[in-house]
Chain A
Amino acid sequence: MFVAGIDIGSAATKAVLLNQTEIVASHIIETGPRSRATAEEAMKGILEKSGLNSGDPGYIVATGYGRINVPSANEIITEIACHAKGVNAVFPKARTILDMGGQDCKAIRIDHKGRHVAFVMNDKCAAGTGRFLDIMAQMLKVPLSEIGPLSMEAREDIKISSVCGVFARSEVARHLRRGVSKADILGGLHASVADRVYGILKRVGIEEDFVISGGIGKNIGVVRRVEAKVGLPAYISDEPQLIGALGAACFARERVSQG
């Protein structure tokens, strides 16, 4: 029997289809204004990709901020628990997770079974989230996928003292006027994000192995700087954005096997 996990985040919706042992299909789309329609589209996406036309998955777990708006879900589980579960499935030795999504950022400590034993969230403001870097990328007119690598080319140590998206904009504008290179500015911006998320990690307590999940896991500029602060290498899955949906699907598989 196939099972599915769907993670409706504020920026992107992710869906994963599992069989008994592995991921059969996954699908990522932008979260639209209506979570219900987005959920249906994401589910349709994995079914089409899997080439299955055997109807609905046997069990669906929904997670993420839009989790209550998935009519087909059999169960709803928080994104904290799903990230913990998903990371545990990919990296069984992981004990600390930093999940950096579009709008929020969370640090989670987990046990050997992938149960969360502590968590800290920042979802009050854009600082330390993908949104912050998004805004800055737009301002600097650098494609989002290039900001991380470009930040690694920074030569000068630029301090962006404000973690607030609004105030940071004016700091960036000042640096641009002074002729500071985009790479240096991006270096400063990425360092400020790393600083911010390191604070969250410290509050939850850091234990080996350390994993980064969420969309920002693809941003080398943030990852390297966080690793340097933590003093540990970060394990990152090939699709860090899918971890929450994968965890949800793992819960679904557990439920089915428990009968």
Chain B
Amino acid sequence: MSQEKEVKTKGSKKSLQTARNTFKFIVEDYLQGHAHKQEGKPVVWSCALAEKELFYAMGLHPYYPENYAAVCATQRKNRDPSAEKEAVRFAKIAEQAGYSADLCGYQRVATGYIMNDDLTDAPLGGMPAPDLMVTTSSVCDVRLKWFEDMAQRLNVPLFTLDRPERVFNDIRRHPMPHEVKYYKSILEDYMSFVTDVTGIRYDEDRLRECMEWSYKTNEVRLEILDLRKAVPSPMGCADGFATMYPGMYCSGTEKAYNYYKELRDEVKAKVLAGEGIIQNEKFRLMWYGIPLWFNMGIFNYFEDIGGVFAYEPAYNPSPWPQSTGDDPLTELAIRSLYTGTSMSSGMSSILEQCREYHINGAVLAFLLTCRPVYLPALETKRILEKELGIPSVMIECDLVDERSYSEAQVKTRMDAFAEQILGQLEAKKEVA
């Protein structure tokens, strides 16, 4: 590499207009929630992998502390460039109260934010105080105790969606009848819980309508993923992560569907025009894990030497089972149980995706504070090299707390990795 760049923690350069508009989408969603609260309607705080239709169907406006922590990782108080990031300010409050710096940054930031005592003293005017909280047992144990802790601090009722972790080799295996029955009973309990807290009754038609929007949204998102396989890459990780909010957090709404339709059309047009993120694409990378929300500019790091981050497995949709025409709660239970967490099935899909997206190398977020990402990272590294000869490099830090990030160390790893990939491409040419 003849010229080095500074890795300053900074926002990413997005290549799609729809991606650039997403922050506006998020701000509007936050404002709608504030208006909803002011009208005396209930607000829920929840997390990824809780089924979002459950909220919209029950007239709840959802907020997600984890996503809010990611927003805080990009913002400084009053936009003052000399101020520390809001995520750091809140994480410090939690740490001063004794929460370990080894805990997941999402937890520390959200907890510190609550402990700050003024929920409006925060980016986007903060999250309105919740009337209830809903967490899930899926994927990560931190969310169970973290939500319990927040619910106690804010003195609101909490419900846990206890979803069986389906750890077996083929996640496409249809859930067993007893699993469906069990999880459906949990969803029914949830409905009664919301009715008890808010007085709002479960309306099957409303849930069905929300689910229809999610099915349609999922289909369009899958189309986008398919388009992203094109060479040169029309939509990379900077755009991928920037556009995940509507799908992850507003699934079940018409606005999320419309958003992805627009995105799909934009990506399709780029593919048809043969337009890539950069002019001269030489190598394609995968980003494994959650991004470093405080430094999304990392996705543009290799662009001037022809490297693009083309694909990220996180937050992407997977095909859902066909609608069965059952009652919507049964259908939702079946759909949710398709979310498997087995490492071996995760690995085989990563291998498949690396082939489909023509990946030459992988950067692995080695998130020391997040076990569900951290543990499979090691296996991902091993298997990519063994099965596909794809080299990878690990970036160690937290996802929102930039104090865990060492610029000099990351620069050395990233630059050495780029040299390695370019060397490999050169070696391939020599053989050919």
Contact = CB atoms under 8 A, between A and B. Distances in A.
Interface of A: 65, 67-68, 75-81, 111, 113, 115-119, 121, 123-124
A115 B412 contact: no
Contacts of A81: 416, 419
Contacts of B409: 121, 123-124
Nearest to A114: B423
A118 B420 contact: yes
A78 B427 contact: no
B408 interface: yes
Contact of A78 (B2, B396, B419, B426): B419
B419 A116 contact: yes
Given A78-B415, A80-B412, A115 B420 contact: yes
Contacts of B1: 76-78
Interface residues of B, number: 21
16 contacts: A67-B4, A68-B6, A76-B2, A77-B1, A78-B412, A78-B419, A80-B419, A111-B423, A111-B427, A115-B423, A117-B391, A118-B385, A118-B391, A119-B416, A121-B409, A121-B413
Contact of B4 (A76, A115, A117, A123): A76
B185 interface: no
B349 interface: no
Interface string B399-413: 000000010110011
Nearest to A80: B416
Interface string B1-33: 111101000000000000000000000000000
Looking at chain B's contact residues, the main secondary structure is helix
Nearest to A110: B423
B412 A117 contact: no
B125 to A, nearest CB: 38
B323 interface: no
A27 B99 CA distance: 49
B413 A75 contact: no
B424 interface: yes
Contacts of B427: 111, 113, 115
Nearest to B419: A81
Interface in B247-290: none
B116 to A, nearest CB: 30
A78 B4 CA distance: 10
Nearest to A113: B427
A117 B419 contact: no
A119 B408 contact: no
Interface string B418-432: 011001101100000
Nearest to B412: A78
Nearest to A124: B396
A118 B412 CA distance: 14
A111 B428 CA distance: 12
Contacts of A113: 427
Contact of A77 (B385, B406, B419): B419
Contacts of A80: 412, 416, 419-420
B4 to A, nearest CB: 5
Nearest to A205: B385
Nearest to A118: B391
A67, A78, A79, A81: most-surrounded residue (chain B CB, <10 A): A78
Contacts of A124: 396, 409
Given A76-B4, A124-B396, A117 B408 contact: no
Contacts of A67: 4
B391 A68 contact: no
B3, B415, B420: most-surrounded residue (chain A CB, <10 A): B420
A111 B423 CA distance: 10
Contacts of A111: 423, 427
A130 B391 CA distance: 28
Given A113-B427, A115-B420, 14 more contacts: A67-B4, A68-B6, A76-B2, A79-B412, A80-B412, A80-B416, A115-B424, A116-B416, A117-B391, A117-B420, A118-B420, A119-B416, A121-B409, A123-B406
B416 A65 contact: no
Nearest to B415: A78
A107 to B, nearest CB: 12
B416, B419, B423: most-surrounded residue (chain A CB, <10 A): B416
A116 B415 contact: no
B404 to A, nearest CB: 10
A171 to B, nearest CB: 23
A115 B406 CA distance: 26
Interface in B330-388: 385
B432 to A, nearest CB: 16
B4 A119 contact: no
B309 to A, nearest CB: 20
Contacts of B4: 67-68, 76
Contacts of B3: 76
Given A67-B4, A76-B4, A121 B385 contact: no
A117 B416 contact: no
A80 B147 CA distance: 44
Interface in B30-72: none
A202 B376 CA distance: 19
A128 to B, nearest CB: 15
B413 to A, nearest CB: 7
B417 to A, nearest CB: 8
Given A76-B1, A76-B4, A77-B1, A117 B413 contact: no
B420 A116 contact: yes
Contacts of A118: 385, 391, 420
A27 to B, nearest CB: 23
The 6 closest A-B pairs by CB, nearest first: A80-B416, A115-B423, A78-B416, A78-B415, A81-B419, A76-B4
A254 to B, nearest CB: 13
A45 to B, nearest CB: 24
